[in-house]
Amino acid sequence: MIRGIYTSASGMLANQANMDVVANNLANVNTAGYKKDEVVYREFPKYLQLRLKDDVWLTSNGSIDLRPRVGKLGTGVTVDAIVVDYNQGPLQNTENRYDMALYGEGFFVIDTQGGERYTRDGSFVRDNEGYLVNHRGNRVKGVDGNPIKVDDQPFVVNEFGEIFSYNGPGTEKSLGQIKIVRFPEKHGLRKIGENLYYATKEAGEPKQVNGDKVIVRQGFLERSNVNVVNSMVKMIEANRAYESNSRVIQAQDTLLGQVINQVGGR
């Protein structure tokens, strides 16, 4: 009886975690470059159930169990991991020269006080010193390791991330190239907030990939890859599963109370 309560309780906790993840995905449906999270569950060990009131025969060669198997008893579930779905999000035309989207596998490199961080969010702006920065004021790194300086002038960005000032035909001047990297194991990246990722040892060393399996689209932003309809369905499913486990706990608690009051009192 107690085992059943713990099993149902573990189901409630797992579904609560799932609802939290789905709710966070929905909250970021309009966040540029956001990648949705998915919950991965791990099942606790199952126990083999045998029918009672059958015998076990003892022979000279060992024992023979005559009890028929009636199935396995689950002991609950837990959240094993929360993984990021890195599938490509749709591109949205903003006609803003500072907006940039990545189509393919790769991340922009952002210079922060804590070191290099990575993002798919290309909604950049220009700071007071003329450098290309994200909305937190952190500068975008170039392939030479220095920040990209665009100043207050028209510029164009090609598919390789190369930036050129442009005031008419024949006036092009190179302003640098945006650094774009990918990782051997991108699931080793960790979200740290502000739409940034931190690279753990499991992610491996970043490799520059400008023009290799990824292109840059100026005047576009990559939208979130969250599907609102699918997320709402998942939210409803998790909520119903949570309620079902809650009702099971209430039923088992009622039965346990009857056993204590009616059987235990005799």
pLDDT for 93: 97
pLDDT of residue 45: 75
- The CA distance from 138 to 111, in Å, is 6
Predicted local distance difference test score (pLDDT) of residue 258: 81
pLDDT at 22: 97
Query: What is each CA distance from 197 to 94, 107, 179, in whole angstroms?
Result: 24, 9, 15
Residues 134 and 90: their CA atoms lie apart, in Å, by 20
Residues of the chain with pLDDT under 50: none
Residue count (the chain) = 266
Question: Within a 13 Å sphere around the CA of 224, how many CA atoms are in the beta-carbon half?
Answer: 17
Which residue, among 163, 158, 157, has the nearest Cα to 176 in the 3D structure? 163
Would you call 50 helix, strand, or coil by DSSP? strand
pLDDT at 56 (0 to 100): 57
In contact, 124 and 98? CB cutoff 8 Å:
yes
CA 79 distance to own-chain centroid: 13
Residues with Cβ < 8 Å from 142, sequence gap 6 or more?
148, 176, 177, 178, 179
Question: What is the structure's pLDDT at 204?
Answer: 94
* E strands in 75-120: 77-84, 91-93, 100-104, 107-112, 115-119
> Per the structure block, which two tokens stand in for 76?
């609950």
Task: Give the H/E segment covering residue 218.
Answer: strand 214-218
pLDDT of residue 112: 94
Q: Taking phi first (over 0 means left), then psi (-120 to 50 degrees means alpha), and beta for anything else, what does residue 170 get? A: left
Q: What is the CA radius of gyration of the chain?
A: 28
